[in-house]
Structures are given as C-alpha cells and as structure tokens.
C-alpha cells in the first residue's frame, strides 16, 4: 500500500469530493455526512499544516484552510433543506475545490520535485499519524464530552480560534466563557 504523502493527501481530496456529491444530491443522512466531512477536513488540514506545510511555503494555503473552516462551521450550524444550508454548501464547495486544485497543481508537484521518495514516505507516515490523532480526538475517548461535542459548544458560544484548539484548550475556553 502506498504511503507517500502525495498519494495520501490526494486520496483524501477524492473522498471529500464524494461527500460533496452526496450533499449536493441530498443522498442519505445529511447531518451525518456533514459530521463526516467536518471531521475529515479538520483532521486533513491539521495534518497538512503540522506535518507537511512546515517544509514548504504554504502561507496562502493556511489562509484558505481558515476560510474553509469558517464555512464548515456555518454548514454544521445550518439545517439541511434550508436555503442557508444550500448557499453555505455551495460556498464551501467552491472554496475547497479551489484550494484542492492549487494544492494538486502547485504545492504537491513542487514538494514532489524537492523531496526524495524516502522523504515522501516519511512525510506520509507523519501525515497519517497526525490525521489519525485528530480524528480520534474529534471522536472522543469515552470520558466526558468528546472533542466534537466540545467543538459544538464552542461554536454556540462563538469562541474565536476554536477550530485550531485541542480538546483541553476547548474545555478551558468553554470554562472561561461560562465564568
């Protein structure tokens, strides 16, 4: 099984596009699909930012992640079937599609040029591990509120910077907001 970072990132992009299709065609449980999309996009973006982008000039890409996360937050809050949901979904798809295209035509090809096969494998392992950590944190461990639940509370309380917070930071910020 290929574990080079470019293959792994590209695979995620295709899965995200599949989820977009399901939402556009209103197939299945929309809320569940949005939750799946949210977890995948956040874990993917964190893993890119922490393990892949540091070696390359990716400032612009980080800005685009932030833009997508704001729209993702809005989509989680919107009720499927409403005009608000459809509009936010369109905006999110446009934003992510643009970002993915840039990553696949500029960032990843230049990474491929500058890194050797061995380094791409190492980056792939690091990306995979960071992504799994984030997915696990989002799903929770069974003790108390899951990170996803804390994140939802943070959205309601409109805590700034929440999408970049870990579970403990979210707990702390929520305690502050309530006191």
Task: Identify which of 119, 139, 132 has the alpha carbon closest to the alpha carbon of residue 55.
Answer: 119
Residues that bind Fe ion (CB under 5 A): 9, 48, 103
Closest CB to Fe ion among residues 82, 110: 110
CB of 156 to Fe ion, least distance (A): 27
H/E element, 101: helix 83-102
Closest CB to Fe ion among residues 48, 69: 48
Distance CA 121, CA 123 (A): 5
Task: Please provide the size of the chain in residues.
Answer: 179
CB of 61 to Fe ion, least distance (A): 5
CB of 160 to Fe ion, least distance (A): 21
Closest CB to Fe ion among residues 44, 147: 44
Closest CB to Fe ion among residues 4, 48: 48
CB of 123 to Fe ion, least distance (A): 13
HEC string of 13-56? HHHHHHHHHHHHCCCCCHHHHHHHHHHHHHHHHHHHHHHHHHHC
């Amino acid at each position: 099984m290929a574990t080079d970072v470019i293959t792994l990132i590209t695979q995620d992009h295709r899965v995200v596009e599949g989820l977009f299709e399901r939402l556009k065609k209103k197939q299945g449980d929309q809320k569940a699909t949005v939750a799946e999309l949210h977890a995948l996009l956040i874990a993917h973006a964190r893993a890119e930012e922490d393990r892949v982008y540091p070696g390359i000039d990716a400032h612009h890409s980080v800005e685009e992640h932030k833009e997508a996360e704001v729209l993702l937050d809005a989509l989680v809050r919107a009720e499927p079937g409403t005009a608000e949901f459809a509009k936010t979904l369109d905006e999110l798809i446009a934003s992510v599609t643009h970002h993915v295209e840039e990553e696949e035509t500029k960032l990843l090809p230049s990474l491929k040029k500058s890194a050797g096969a061995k380094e791409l494998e190492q980056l792939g392992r690091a990306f995979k591990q960071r992504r799994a950590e984030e997915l696990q944190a989002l799903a929770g461990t069974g003790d108390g509120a899951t990170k996803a639940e804390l994140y939802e509370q943070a959205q309601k309380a409109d805590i700034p910077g929440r999408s970049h917070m870990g579970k403990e930071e979210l707990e702390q910020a929520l305690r502050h907001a309530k006191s």
